[in-house]
Amino acid sequence: MLTWEVTDKSISYKTSKVMPNTTSEKSASQLLLAFLTRLHFYIGLFVGPFIFIAALTGTLYVITPQLERMVYHHELTTDSSGTFHTLQAQIQAARASLPEDFPLKAVRPAIGEGFTTRVMFKDPGLYGWELQTVFVDPVTLEIRGTLASYGTSGILPLRIKLDYLHQNLLLGQTGRYYSELAASWLWIAASGGLVLWWTSRRRYAKANTRNPYIRQRKNHTSAGLMIMLGLFFISATGLTWSKWAGSNIAQWRHSIGWVTPSVSLKLDENTFSEIAPAATPKTPHADHQLTGDSALPAHPGDALFDGVLKTARDAGIDAAKLEIRPASSADKAWKVREIDRAWPTQVDSVAVNPHTMTVTSRADFKDFPLVAKLIRWGIDAHMGVLFGLPNQLILAAFGLTLCAMVFWGYRMWWQRRPQPGSPVQTLSHTWLALTGLQRLLIVVIAALLGLAMPVMGVSLLIFIVFDAIRWWRSQSLQSAHSV
């Protein structure tokens, strides 16, 4: 049968009659190392391009907030100064600018003088969770522009495209396989690379760096060690957003109580059953639109925004950046939440009963369990918003280093690529040479990881099929030559 031996230059195999169950303890460790080497190579060869694209598009995303503010300066800012109109008046101005009456989703009041208010509508013509956002000058009620916006960060068309490029290569739900594939294998590739470096560090410590292969290997290894913690961090946080593995992670977090606290929007039946939505109290000085002989707001709920905002402010929602979401039905509360993810984090939220203008539920970040805080900070750091510019620069350096690692990995493969007539090296060869216990452990671990991360599991099966075909062809050729 075929057994493997590790050399300074590469992994090679030779013919031997020694069976796996008679392999010495030292040989067993070498054979396991040969298996990890071949697996690390397969991950780099097949998943490397997806990791490269994810790193590059992620880098483009995190370095563009300043560019976005420049591109959309007209919509985001205003030169007006003076007293702000009520939110009701701003909302009505936004409604009047639209070609049709879209449902109002949320309002983000101007953070101060010189900035616009965002009035956000659900437009069925937009993709996914995008909202049609009208930018209103709070002083003059001038409409500064209308753009699609997306997410808590409120990113605009430029960065929406970059975000989708990072998430799904602009291919919709189907494209999400790519990013989940990269995130699923990244930490495994990092773990394998760490083991390979540790076991070979002495052999390569004094290697001649004038050798192109040795130089590429040193660059690849040094870069990996520098960003090792980042590889695990980006992989873990990226998986939380993925569709299949992310769903499993969410269920697991819920089962052990690692759930981020949120406000309850359910109202006591006695507080709304006797009050019709159209008769809800209006804030003082609310602007009205005349309809016939009566002065009634075109949308009764618009008159509640100022009162709900005041109630939330009085309850301690003090961040400059916040969002007001009206209730979806009469038996639900309105939600006011802080959306400033910079440090220190301001993500408190309250539920407000619009009928009584009282707070019915709240979730304060200072009261979050430590795990929930770490999850919040981890996600924000992944997006490059936690520490502002320093966070952006660190992620950009990380992303470019990861891209360089993939490039150096391919250079190493090209320099040591199999020559015509050379023995075929396969994962199947290395696996068959392992001891029975090692093979059993590998199968169990692979099955568990495949269940937890389905995209990784399916891609592993593809690896195995591809490798088995190469192994079978190699065996057939050897049998033909031996005849």
For residue range 461-472, list pLDDT tens digits in order. Answer: 999 999 999 989
Q: For the residues 209-233, what does the mean pLDDT come to?
A: 94
58 and 181 part of one domain? yes
Q: How far is CA 218 from CA 114, 223, 242, 396, in A?
A: 52, 8, 33, 22
Would residue 373 count as lying in a domain?
no
* 223 and 319 inside one domain: no
Q: Domain for residue 150, yes or no? A: yes
Q: Which two tokens stand for residue 64?
A: 């563009």
CA dist 325 and 323 (Å) reads: 7
Looking at the structure, do residues 330 and 416 belong to the same domain, yes or no? no
Average pLDDT, integer, range 139-158? 97
Measure the CA–CA gap between 229 and 383, rounded to whole angstroms: 17
| Domain span at 428 | 2-62+171-254+403-482
78 in a domain, yes or no?
yes
Q: Are residues 98 and 31 in the same domain?
A: no
Instruction: Determine what percent of the chain is predicted with pLDDT higher than 70.
Output: 88
C-alpha dihedral, 242 to 243 to 249 to 251, nearest 10° = 160
48 and 126 inside one domain: no
DSSP calls for 17-49: ---GGG--HHHHHHHHHHHHHHHHHHIIIIIHH
Supply the pTM of this predicted model. Answer: 0.87
Three-class DSSP category at 85: coil
Distance between CA atoms of 234 and 405, rounded to whole angstroms?
Answer: 15
Say yes or no: 284 and 353 in one domain. Answer: yes
What distance in Å separates the CA atoms of residue 406 and residue 48, rounded to the nearest whole number? Answer: 6
Last residue of a domain, one of 367, 384, 413: 367
Whether 397 maps to a domain, the answer reads no
Residues 175 and 241 occupy one common structural domain:
yes
CA distances 186 to 35, 113, 253, Å, are 18, 45, 21
Residues 137 and 97 in one domain: yes
- Same domain as 203, residue 119: no
Based on the fold, state whether residues 288 and 421 are members of the same structural domain: no
Residues 286 and 351 in one domain: yes
Asked which of 99, 122, 155 is the last residue of a domain, the reply is 155
pLDDT tens per residue across span 98-116: 999 999 999 999 999 999 9
Question: Same structural domain for residues 233 and 281?
Answer: no
Predicted local distance difference test score (pLDDT) of residue 273: 53
Query: Which residue intervals of 136-211 are DSSP H helices?
Result: 157-168, 176-205
What is the count of structural domains for the chain? 3
What CA–CA distance (Å, rounded) separates 242 from 179?
Answer: 8
pLDDT, tens only, 340-364: 999 889 999 999 999 999 999 999 9
E strand intervals along 275-393: 289-291, 294-296, 322-325, 334-338, 349-353, 358-363
In a domain, 382, yes or no: no
DSSP 13: E
pLDDT at 421: 66
pLDDT band at 207 (very low <50, low <70, confident <90, very high): confident
pLDDT tens-digit map of 258-314? 999 999 999 987 666 544 443 333 433 334 343 333 344 469 899 999 999 999 999
